[in-house]
Each structure stands twice: as C-alpha cells, then as structure tokens.
C-alpha cells in the first residue's frame, strides 16, 4: 500500500505523534482528525456531551480505517470541564504533540446590537478562552520535547465587510461578534508563534474559504454553490491544509485553506492521504 502524501519539509508519517482535535465529532474537526490518523498519528477526538454519539461514530470510523483513535467528552465553555482535558487526552494517547483548536460556538443569526451578554460570554469562552487554556496546558510537554504543533481553526468571517454591504445582511450582521472572536484568535496565534519561535513549537491559524461543505453547512453550501460555486470547498481541503501545517515547518502563518494549497502547489487528497481527488491550484476568492 502506498504511503500517504508527505507534508512540506516533513516525512509522510506522523507515527509516534499524538494529536488532540477539539470539535471533532463531525465536519472540519472530524476530517482533520481522520487525515492526521491516516498519517500515523494517535488522535484523541473531543466534543461536547451533546455530540457524544457522533463523537463515538467518528472514533469508530477512524479505527475502521486502520487508525488509532480515542474520544473524550468535554464542555469547553465550562472552565472546570476543560481544565483537565489535555492531561486526560495525553493519558489516552501517550502524550500530546499536536493541538488542533477547532471547536467553536456559532451563535444564532443575531446582530451585535441585540446579542446578550450571556451569549457573548459563551461565544468568547469557547472560541478564544478555551484555545488559550488548552495551549497553556499543552505547552510544558511540547517545550520539553522540543517539538509541537498548535493549529487554531479560524473563519472567513474575520474579513471586514464593505459598508453598505451588498450581500445577505442577516449573515454579515449576525456573524460580526463570531468573526471578532476568531479575529482575536488569529492575533493570539501570531503572538504565540513569536513567543515560541526557536522552541520547536510551531503555531498557525487556518480558515476555510469560504464555506466548507460539511454536514452542518450542506444546505447553505448547496444554495450558495448554485450561483457562486467558488465560495464552496470540500471539507477535504481543510483537512489537506491542516495536515500540511501540522507536518510542515511554517509558523506564525494565518491563512486560508485554498491560499495555502495554491502556495504549496500540491494536489488535493482524500482523507486517506493517498487518493488524489482534485487540485488546489486556485487561490481563495477575494
């Protein structure tokens, strides 16, 4: 059986590496965990209690593919619940070398002018505080090994809309606070990358461009794809780009999935890391 495709500046295998992927019960998180496992990483998938059945199904699917996978339930919006997550994941997997902060709270379509303080606090707790907490928990072991990868999953909603906005008003208005939380995460990403430069711990942020075709976004992706197909990408694109950042040597990079693949001039693989299903030779849309 051929080896999975190698990352830039890295061998094809992640054998001996252990990864924690949050928000991994479905969609982008599940795809990234599946791709990392295909390259030999032992993965721990985490999600909220509400997604426990889907989380176990994701774990079982990776195992059926021949990968190593465990799962942990944790409510990342709760300080106490996430305090021991990295230690628990390390115990299951044998350590944590890779942290993928993918879990996110996405509010209902509610504009900033009407969003309650409780909603805002939960949104920032999951989208910003939780990634920082998990990074702080992961860093001692990564620094001791002199090797670590931190990947923060961002969003195209960090983009500044034109005013007046000509697109769907509900989306741009409702996602402004969500986009602000992801913009803050991007700034933390570059700050961490600078702080950890030379330590062997690399930190990057990655966002889909613009809609990843996941189970949750399938209806929106289908509707948008009818008129703007360039705005929709298969979930494998995020998995491919995430793998390249985990296995590669970039740090301090804040990028979109297709922009990264265009930069690397690499084909797009299925989640098995072997089968070529397309190309990423077109940069992300403006």
Counting residues of the chain whose pLDDT is more than 90, the rounded percentage is: 69
pLDDT digits (tens, 9 = 90+) for 135-193: 999 999 999 999 999 999 999 888 887 787 776 665 666 688 999 999 999 999 999 99
Cis geometry, peptide bond prior to residue 164 (ω within 30 degrees of 0): yes
Is it the case that residue 3 has pLDDT exceeding 70?
no
Looking at residue 1, what is its pLDDT? 46
pLDDT digits (tens, 9 = 90+) for 78-93: 999 999 999 999 999 9
Looking at residue 25, what is its pLDDT? 96
Q: What angle do CA 193, 132, 99 make, to 5 degrees?
A: 70
Q: What is the largest CA-CA distance in the chain?
A: 56
**How many CB atoms sit inside 10 A of residue 275's CB?**
13
Strand pairing report for 276-279 and 267-269: antiparallel
Looking at residue 221, what is its pLDDT? 47
pLDDT digits (tens, 9 = 90+) for 229-278: 566 688 999 999 999 999 999 999 999 998 998 899 888 899 999 999 88
178 in catalytic set: yes
Q: What single string gives the DSSP state of each residue in the chain?
A: -PPPPPPTTS-S--TT-EEEEES-SSHHHHHHHHHHHHTT-EEEEEE-GGGHHHHHHHHHHHHHTT-EEEEEE--TTSHHHHHTHHHHHHHHHTS-SEEEE-------S--TTT--HHHHHHHHIIIIIHHHHHHHHHHHHHHHHT-EEEEEE--GGGSPPPSS--S-HHHHHHTHHHHHHHHHHHHHHHHHHHHTTTTTEEEEEEE-SSEEE-TTTHHHHHHHHHH-GGGEEEHHHHHHHHHHHHHS---S-EEEHHHHHHHHT-EEE-TTSSSEEEE--SPPP-
DSSP state letter for 3: P
């Amino acid at each position: 059986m051929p080896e999975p495709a190698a990352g830039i500046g890295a061998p094809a295998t992640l054998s001996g590496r252990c990864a924690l992927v949050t928000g991994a019960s479905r969609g982008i998180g599940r795809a990234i965990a599946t791709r990392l496992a295909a390259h030999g990483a032992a993965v721990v998938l985490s999600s909220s209690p509400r997604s426990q059945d889907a989380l176990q199904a994701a774990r079982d699917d990776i195992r059926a593919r021949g990968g190593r996978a465990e799962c942990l339930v944790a409510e990342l919006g709760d300080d106490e619940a996430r305090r021991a997550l990295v230690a628990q994941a390390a115990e299951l997997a044998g350590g944590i070398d890779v942290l993928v902060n993918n879990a996110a709270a996405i509010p209902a379509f509610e504009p900033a002018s009407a969003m309650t303080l409780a909603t805002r606090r939960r949104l920032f707790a999951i989208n910003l505080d939780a990634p920082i907490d998990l990074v702080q928990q992961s860093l001692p072991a990564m620094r001791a090994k002199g090797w670590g990868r931190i990947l923060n999953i961002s969003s195209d909603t960090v983009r500044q809309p034109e005013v007046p906005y000509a697109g769907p008003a509900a989306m741009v208005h409702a996602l402004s606070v969500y986009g602000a939380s992801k913009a803050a995460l991007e700034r933390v990403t570059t700050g961490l990358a600078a702080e950890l430069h030379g330590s062997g711990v690399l930190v990057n942020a990655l966002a889909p461009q613009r809609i990843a075709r996941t189970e949750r976004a399938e209806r929106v992706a289908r509707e948008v794809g009818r008129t703007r197909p360039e705005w929709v990408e298969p979930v494998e694109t995020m998995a491919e780009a995430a793998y390249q950042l985990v296995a590669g040597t970039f740090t301090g990079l804040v990028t979109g999935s297709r922009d990264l693949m265009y930069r690397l001039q690499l084909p797009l693989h299925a989640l098995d890391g072997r089968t070529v299903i397309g190309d990423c030779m077109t940069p992300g849309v403006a």
